[in-house]
Amino acid sequence: MILRLSFASLMARALTVSMTILAIALSVALYLGVEKIRTGAKASFADTISGTDLIVGARSGSVQLLLYSVFRIGNATNNVTWQSYQGIAARKDVDWIVPISLGDSHRQFRVMGTSPAFFEHYKYRQGRSLAFEQGEPLSDLFDTVIGADVAKTLGYSVGDPIVVAHGLASFAEHKDQPFRVSGILEKTGTPVDRTVIVSLEGIEAIHVDWQSGAQKPGDPTPVEKVRQMDLKPKAITAALVGVSSPLKTFSLQRAINEYAQEPLLAILPGVALQELWGIVGIAETALLAVSVMVIVTALIGMMATIFSSLNERRREMAIYRAMGAKPSTIFGLLILEAILMGAIGAVLGLLFLYIGLFVSQPILDAAFGLWVPIDAPSLREAIVLVAVIAASAIVSLVPALRAYQLSLADGMTVKT
């Protein structure tokens, strides 16, 4: 009976009730959307590199090494000598190792020198391998493979020439030795999309006539002669390492960190990612706090709406009293109305969330490499919905108590 009365009362005030429900729904959708993007961003960070046991570089900080070797942010404080790289690669507990050489750029995109093993062993998003949208891997000294964002932004296709610039913010270019696009990778949602990949020998080849960051005076070395040179690198920036057995990961890490020939650092990618996420977690907390305040504001608005309608509904309550309703019934009626508004708003907010995810998922993945999964509501999300409904009941206690007092006063007033 009281449930039917609650529905009828809400329908009688359809416009104001609808606006209140919409405010709750939008606030719930905002909070759950922020939560989805937060977890999606965290998963995308974690999925940037998968299947790599250690990252090795010059001794610095773990986050710094992770940033420049995986995310192409910042620069190394020092390089790793080729002799040290070979010494680590020769260890029995190393299953595979991929060298990385950074330092040059192409129109604001980082250039990375590596070996063919990179295309075999680099994994992302829980074990997915790199795939080619067009073309093929590196086969010639001056071949390059570019990421999806590089191709899209600069309009490149297979066969186009690329001139690499010396350094990250330099106007000096290696114009005498251009590369040729041999392949374009499929979109990965990782920094690989924004990377120009060449061979280690290609990096050495374009620096044959360079010394101390400047080009040597005189005519450039002919390309034919460069191809005949020994282009073995003298140093690399970092290396990705796969261990033959997970049990040997920590012992290999300790051996590299204590390497006698030069100061090196080996980090666990997962641990460094957690450390990095802890640094940016302040912004995450602030965003969640703003979302919570939006929900609180919507609930306070609902309480204000109920309050403002009390005087208008005194006649309605008097009719209920005349029909035998007790003041406690009026009290319960207002609380039930608030619960219904909160419940409808919460469910509608969940519906808005999934509509928004369905529309924005491909856009976020293509534009930012952020994969937000569309899956069933989690336990945390269900708790949020229940909390919104419970909070609706709590904020309605004050206007419901006021309605109880008005109803009791009206019932004791002698009508003449």
Domain ranges of the chain: 2-45+281-412, 54-267
pLDDT of residue 2: 67
pLDDT of residue 416: 44
pLDDT tens for the chain, residues 1 to 416: 567 767 777 777 778 888 889 999 999 998 888 888 877 777 777 778 889 999 999 999 999 999 999 998 888 889 999 999 999 999 999 999 999 999 899 988 999 999 999 999 999 888 899 999 999 999 999 999 999 999 999 999 999 999 998 877 666 788 888 999 999 999 888 899 999 999 999 999 998 887 766 777 777 888 889 899 989 999 999 999 999 999 999 999 999 999 999 999 999 998 998 888 777 777 777 877 888 888 888 888 888 877 777 666 666 666 666 666 676 777 787 888 889 989 999 999 999 999 998 998 877 776 666 677 788 888 888 898 999 999 988 988 877 777 666 655 554 454 44
pLDDT of residue 409: 56
pLDDT of residue 135: 94
Model pTM? 0.73
* Residue 364 near residue 372 (C-beta atoms within 8 A): yes
Residues in the chain: 416
Single-letter code of the amino acid located at 192 = V
CA 197 – CA 145 distance, rounded (Å): 5
* Residue 399 near residue 306 (C-beta atoms within 8 A): yes
List own/partner pairs for 115-120 with CB under 8 A and 24 or more apart: 115/199, 115/200, 116/199, 118/197, 118/240, 119/145, 120/96
pLDDT of residue 213: 64
The SS3 assignment for 109 reads strand
* Residue 361 near residue 399 (C-beta atoms within 8 A): no
CA 241 – CA 56 distance, rounded (Å): 7
* Residue 93 near residue 243 (C-beta atoms within 8 A): yes
| C-alpha torsion sign, points 198, 200, 204, 205 | negative
Close Cβ partners of 370 (under 8 Å, ≥ 6 residues apart): 37, 40, 41, 44, 189, 364
**Distances from the Cα of 1 to the Cα of 9, 41, 266, angstroms:** 12, 48, 70
